Structure 1
Amino acid sequence: MKIATWNVNSLNVRLPHVVQWLASSAVDVLCLQELKMDQEAFPLSTIEQSGYRAFWFGQKTYNGVAILVKDGLRVEDVINGIPDYDDPQRRVIAATVEDVRVICGYFVNGEAVGSDKYAYKLDWLARLEAYVAQSLERWPSLALLGDYNIAPDDRDVYDAEAWKDKVLCSEPERAAFRRLIGMGLTDSFRLFNAEDKQYSWWDYRAAMFRRNLGLRIDHILVSDPLKERAAHCEIDKAPRKWERPSDHTPVVLTLKPA
C-alpha cells in the first residue's frame, strides 16, 4: 500500500495536478489539505473518473481536508473533525482503509509566536494529541498524515538560526511533535532519509524552490505495526516544478503487506 500527503493550496487551482499525479504515482491513499472549497463544491466526479473514492470535509476560502482512496479498497469509520471539539475550522478527517487507520490533518499555522493564532495552534495540538491517543487504542495500525506546520528539528530548516524561536520552529511546537513521537509514532521519512536539506515546502518568493531554501513540514507518522511494514518514504518534488504549483509537494510512504 502506498499512502501520501499533499497540501494542494486550493483544489480548484490544483485539481489538474492532483489528477495527473494520481495517474503517475499509483498511490492507494492520498490525503489532501487546504482544499479551500465548500463541502458542496468538491469535484467528486473528476476524482471518481481518476479511479478513486473521496471523503472530504470542506470549508470555503481556507482549510478543508480530504482522503482519496483507490477503487476496490475497503473504507470504514469515516470521521470528520476531532470528536467533542467544537472547532470552526475544518482541519481533520479520518478513515480506516483496509487495516490502516488514516488520519489526515491540516495543522494550524499559528501566524506568529505570541499571537492569538499561535495560542489556538497550541490548544489545537493538545486536542489532536488526545484524539490520536484515543485512536491508537482502537486502531493500532495508524498513520497520521498532513501538513503539520512544524519543522521537527534544525535539519528540517534551510536556515535554523533565522527561524529559531519563530512559528513552525518554536520549542512548544516541536515539543508537541515530540509528544506524538512519544505515543509510539515514528517519523517515517527519517526511517530512510537522515540527511538535512530535505524539504516539502518552499515559499513562492525569491526563487526559494530553485535554491532549495525550504522547510520539511509535511509528515507521515506511523505506529509501530506500520513502522514494521514501512518499505520506503520519499518527498516527490516533481509537482513543485509544474506550472502554477502548490508551495508544498507530496510525501509518499510505501508499506509492505501486513
Structure 2
Amino acid sequence: MKIATFNINGIGSRLPALLQWLEETQPDVACLQELKAPTEKFPEQALRDIGYHAIWQGQKSWNGVAILARGVQPQEVQRGLPGDTSDEQSRYLEAAVNGVLIACLYLPNGNPAPGPKFDYKLAWMERFIERAAGLYASGAPVVLAGDYNVIPTPDDVYKPERWLTDALFRPETRAAFERLMAQGWLDALRHMHPDETIYTFFDYFREAYKRNAGLRIDHLLLSPAVARGLVAAQVDHDVRGREKPSDHAPTWIELDMTKVHG
C-alpha cells in the first residue's frame, strides 16, 4: 500500500499537474493540503475519472485538505481537529482506507513569530498532540500525514542559521514536535534515510529547487502497527521541477500490508 502526502498549493491552478502525478505514480492514498478552494469547487469528477474517490474540506482562498483513495471510498472518521469549536480553518481530516486510519493535516505556518499567528500555531499543535495521543493509544494502524510546517532538526533545512527566528524552526515549535514524537511515532522518511540530505519544500525564489536549498516539512508519522510494514519512503523530487509546480514535492511511503495486518 502506497500512501502519499502532497501540499498542492492551489488545486484549481495545479489540477493538471496533480492528475499527471497521480496517474504516473498511482498511490493508494494521497493526502492533499492547501487546496485554496471552497468545498464546492473541489474537482471531484476529474479525480473520479482517473479512479480516485475523495473526502475533502475546502475553504475559500486558503487552507483546505483532502484524502484521496484509489478504487475505494475513504471512510470519514473525523472532520476538523477537536478541541476548539471556534476554529474555522480547514486543516484536518481523518479517514479509514484499507484498514489504516489516515490523518491528513495542514499545520499552521505561524509567521510572523512571535505574534497571534504563532500563538495559533502552538495552540493547534497542542490540540494535535492530544488527538495523536488518543490515536496512538488505540493500537490501530495510524498514519499522520501532511504539511507540518515544522523543521525538526538542523539537518532538515538548508543553512539552518538563517531560520532560527522563523516559526517553522523556533525552539517552541521544535519542542512541541519532539513531544509529539515522544509518544512513539516513527518519522518514516528520516527512518529510511537517516543520514541523507532530503527536502520536501523549495521556495519559488532564488532558484531554491535548482540549488537544492530546501526544507523537510512534509512528514508521514507511523504508529507501531504501520511501522512494522514500512518498506520504502521517498520524495518525488522531480515533480517540483515541472511546469507551474507546487513549492512542495510529493512525499510517500510504501507498506507491506501483510505485516501491518499480520
TM-score, normalisation: structure 2: 0.95
State yes or no: 1:31 paired with 2:31. yes
Report whether the alignment pairs 1:55 with 2:55. yes
1:11 alignment partner, SS class: coil
- CA 1:143–1:25: 2 relative to 1, 3 Å: same
What is aligned with 2:106? 106
Q: Is the 8 A contact 1:197 1:212 kept in 2?
A: no
Tell which deviates more after alignment, 204-213 or 189-198. 189-198
Counterpart position of 2:12: 12
2:171 alignment partner in structure 1: 171
> Could you say which residue in structure 1 is the equivalent of 2:84?
85
Residue 115 of structure 1, CA deviation: 1.3
The secondary structure found in structure 1 opposite 2:220 is strand
The number of equivalent residue pairs is 257
Once residues 200 and 233 of structure 2 are traced to their aligned partners in structure 1, the CA distance between those partners, rounded to angstroms, is 13
Question: Which whole-Å CA distance do the structure 1 matches of 2:65 and 2:102 have between them?
Answer: 12
Distance of 1:139 and 1:39 partners within structure 2:
32
* Correspondence list, 1:233-244, <5 A: 233-244=233-244
Offset at 1:140? Answer: 2.0
How far off its partner does 1:166 sit?
Answer: 2.2
Matched, 1:210 2:193: no
Equivalent position SS for 1:206: coil
Distance of 1:109 and 1:232 partners within structure 2 = 28
d(CA) in 2 for partners of 1:139 and 1:66? 24
| Structure 2 residue aligned with 1:188 | 188
- Using the alignment, how far apart are the partners of 2:76 and 2:61 within structure 1? 27
Unaligned runs of 5+ residues in structure 1 are: none
Aligned-residue offset at 1:216: 0.4
Q: Residues 86-109 of structure 1: CA distance to partner in whole angstroms, max 9, x if unpaired?
A: 211110011011211100000000
Report the Cα distance in structure 1 between the residues aligned to 2:99 and 2:247, rounded to whole angstroms: 32
Q: Residue 139 of structure 1: CA displacement?
A: 5.4
Aligned to 1:64: 64
User: What do you get for the CA RMSD once the two structures are aligned?
Assistant: 1.2
- Asked if 2 retains the 8 angstrom alpha-carbon contact of 1:186 and 1:227, the reply is yes
Contact 1:63 1:89 in 2 (8 A): yes
Matches within 5 A, 1:223-242: 223-242=223-242
Question: 1:101·1:139 contact (CA, 8 Å) conserved in 2?
Answer: no
